[in-house]
Amino acid sequence: MLEENLPKFVILDYENYKKLMSKKLVSKKEHLKILVTGGAGYIGSHTARLLVGAGHSVVTLDNLSTGFEEFAQGKFVKGDLSDTELLDSLFAEEKFEAVMHFAASMSVPESVENPEKYYTNNVVNSLNLLNAMKMHKVDKIIFSSTCAVYSDRAQAPMNEQTAIEPASPYGESKAIFEKILGDYANAFGIKSVSLRYFNAAGASFDSVLGLANPESTSLIPNALNVALAKKDYLEVYGKDYTTADGTGVRDYIHVLDVANAHILALDYLNEIRGPIAEVFNIGTGKGYTVLEVINQACDSTDKMIKFEVRDRRPGDPAEVYADTSKAEKVLGFRAQHSDLKTILDTHWAFHKKRFG
């Protein structure tokens, strides 16, 4: 799809974007000072952009290991959560009122090969952040969690009561920090919301922000790399599942819908009283097969995308998609942009611009 055929609005024009949503996005307490860790990355930068557009004051903290400084919103500070002195001085200077925590390592295969990295970055360093919040009396945090905390044997749709049995150190590290947030709510009154993402995809409608990691192992960017002739073919793992076409089913949600969930979670924490550590699934409540994604990628790129079928990977379930009823009821969340066409059209426009 050509970029000129995309919807004619720009995300930075917050009033136009707000009209497209069925729920009010602006946090009910205006102009908060918010620290966004990992805010130069994919989901963090989209969320920070909405926060700035809503009138909040944002400080982006990122070590740029996988993020990009040009994506950072508000004031940018290059730094790492392992640097406790930096955290102390930053919290003392900025007087934050809330934290949105995206900074993490997030590759399942890498976590199996190098669990030390994942427990250090995702647990120890996150604990440094939480202790800085405690010291400086910041009592609200929204945590970027994952559906990888759930058992890979669980039946779809998965709800928030689905068994927590992570199959990788990555999922385990997120589950551990969710537990820590509960303990800190009880002991120190720090309120938290953990958002368990399913498969975030897509890009901003003006193609300014998107998934810029060239090493991504996700289906959509790799399919688009075939469209750009940067890969000869796409590998499809398994075509003998009990699904409509034999390929695995996953819940894909547009990154702007994920970003919107954080705004709604901030509203929730502003309104709620008393210690709380809440969790919500953030998805669409349905899934698409691998072949459906590939077919839409062909339509969006106007290219043929060659693929080759491989054996199933150990532990890959047939279907993974969210039960989002809790987020809908409590947060007022509903995905607005997560039809497969919009996801692929926006992702392709950014991907072609960035890597073409």
Whether 76 and 68 have beta carbons less than 8 Å apart is answered as no
| Catalytic hit among 170, 184, 197, 252 | 170
Which is it for strands 307-310 and 140-146: parallel, antiparallel or unpaired?
A: unpaired
Q: Distance between CA atoms of 214 and 221, rounded to whole angstroms?
A: 9
The model's pTM is: 0.91
Inform me whether the pLDDT recorded for 190 exceeds 80: yes
Check pLDDT > 90 for residue 313. no
CB atoms within 10 A of CB 221: 20
Work out the pLDDT band at 4, boundaries 50, 70, 90: very low
DSSP label at 3? G
At 255-312, the pLDDT tens digits run 999 999 999 999 999 998 888 999 999 999 999 999 999 999 999 999 999 999 999 9
CA distances from 60 to 67, 161, 232, 263 (A): 11, 33, 37, 16
Query: Is the distance from CB of 356 to CB of 234 less than 8 angstroms?
Result: no
Residue 249 has pLDDT above 70, yes or no: yes
* pLDDT of residue 26 exceeding 60: no
8 A C-beta contact, residue 132 and residue 88:
yes
Q: What is the mean pLDDT of residues 199-205?
A: 97
Q: Which H helix or E strand runs over 49?
A: helix 42-53
Secondary structure letter of residue 75 according to DSSP: E
Does the pLDDT at position 13 exceed 80?
no
- Please report, for the chain, the start and end positions of each structural domain, with discontinuous segments joined by +: 3-355
- Partners of 263 in beta bridges: none
Round to whole Å and give the CA distance between 43 and 31.
Answer: 21
118-150 pLDDT, tens digit per residue, is 999 999 999 999 999 999 999 999 999 999 999
Topology of the domain comprising 3-355: Rossmann fold (3.40.50)
**Amino acid residing at 39:** G
- d(CA 125, CA 132) in angstroms, rounded, equals 11
Rounded CA-CA distance 177/288 in Å is 30
Is 170 among the residues known to form the active site? yes
Whether pLDDT at 25 is above 60: no
